Amino acid sequence: MRKVHAFLLIIIHKVIMYPFLRVFIGMEVQRNQSLFLGKYIIVSNHSSHTDTSAILSILPLSKIHKLRPVAAQDYFTKNKLFKIFTQLFYNAIFIDRVTKDGKQNSINIMAQTIDRGDNLLIFPEGSRVSSDKVGPFKSGVIKILKEKPEIPYIPIYIDSSANTLPKGDGLLIPHNFKVVIGDAKFIDPKMNDEESLKKIRDSVVSLASL
């Protein structure tokens, strides 16, 4: 079943979405070999629902089915069909971003996903930001990186994707946007959470000038 799902993800994101985003929407990609590494956590800014498809579509073929986008349980599971669609087409895992108890449970879910051999895609802003400015990062990303300090994170900056599918709008609009992939980095487990979070955010923001 996993092989069938892996094949489906390749068809959706490599055969359909990649040409669509490149030719019709106008996606540009500044590539980096870091995506060919074994295990990693992708950390990206987030301003459009096209962001997840954009990242999945630029992965090496062997990595597409291994990437598990982290999705908000309260948003993506409120409708059963929407939940199935998100799991089937995006290979997402769901975490609780609301309750205090859920925060630790969310870290456990992400850690178990890594232990099974999968990679993660995290949007640390927590929700879409309707501008090109990178919003504040929430602490979940640093908690999972400190839980798994042997796993590198790969910063990705997505520029202007908010214009392709504005928040609250269901219509895709052709508009050039750029995906910039950074070098893989490791956190310093001795650094406090606030400093580590700033360093991770800075690594994403710095790609905006490339």
Q: Per the structure block, which two tokens stand in for 203? A: 């690594």
Residue 48: predicted pLDDT: 83
Instruction: Please choose, from the candidates 118, 114, 143, 140, the residue with its C-alpha nearest in 3D space to the C-alpha of residue 127.
Output: 140
Cα dihedral across residues 94, 14, 65, 54: positive or negative? negative
Provide the domain limits for residue 136.
2-209
Residue 37's identity, in one-letter code, is L
Q: In percent, how much of the chain has pLDDT > 70?
A: 88
pTM of the model: 0.91
Please identify which residue in the block is written with the tokens 């995006």.
90
Looking up residue 182, the CATH number of its domain turns out to be: 3.40.1130.10
Residue 14: predicted pLDDT: 96
Low-confidence ranges of the chain (pLDDT < 50): 102
**For residue range 31-56, what is the model confidence (pLDDT) as tens digits?**
899 999 999 999 999 988 889 999 99
Pairing mode of beta strands 27-30, 153-159: unpaired
Residue 182: predicted pLDDT: 97
Q: Per the structure block, which two tokens stand in for 163? A: 């214009």
**For residue range 56-65, what is the model confidence (pLDDT) as tens digits?**
999 999 999 9
Separation CA 142–CA 208 (nearest Å) = 21
How far CA 195 is from CA of 67, 84, 129, 199, in Å, comes to 27, 37, 22, 6
Residue 45: predicted pLDDT: 94
Residue 54: predicted pLDDT: 95
- Name the helix (H) or strand (E) containing 158: strand 153-159
CA atoms within 13 A on the CB side of 174: 6
Tally of structural domains, the chain: 1
Residue 40: predicted pLDDT: 98
Sheet holding 67-72, edge to edge: 27-30, 177-181, 153-159, 41-44, 119-122, 67-72, 93-95
Instruction: Please choose, from the candidates 147, 133, 161, 132, the residue with its C-alpha nearest in 3D space to the C-alpha of residue 196.
Output: 147
* 192 CA to centre of own chain: 24
Indicate the length of the chain as a whole number: 210
Residue 170: predicted pLDDT: 56
CB proximity list for 162: less than 8 A, separation 6 or greater: 47, 48, 128, 129, 130, 131, 132
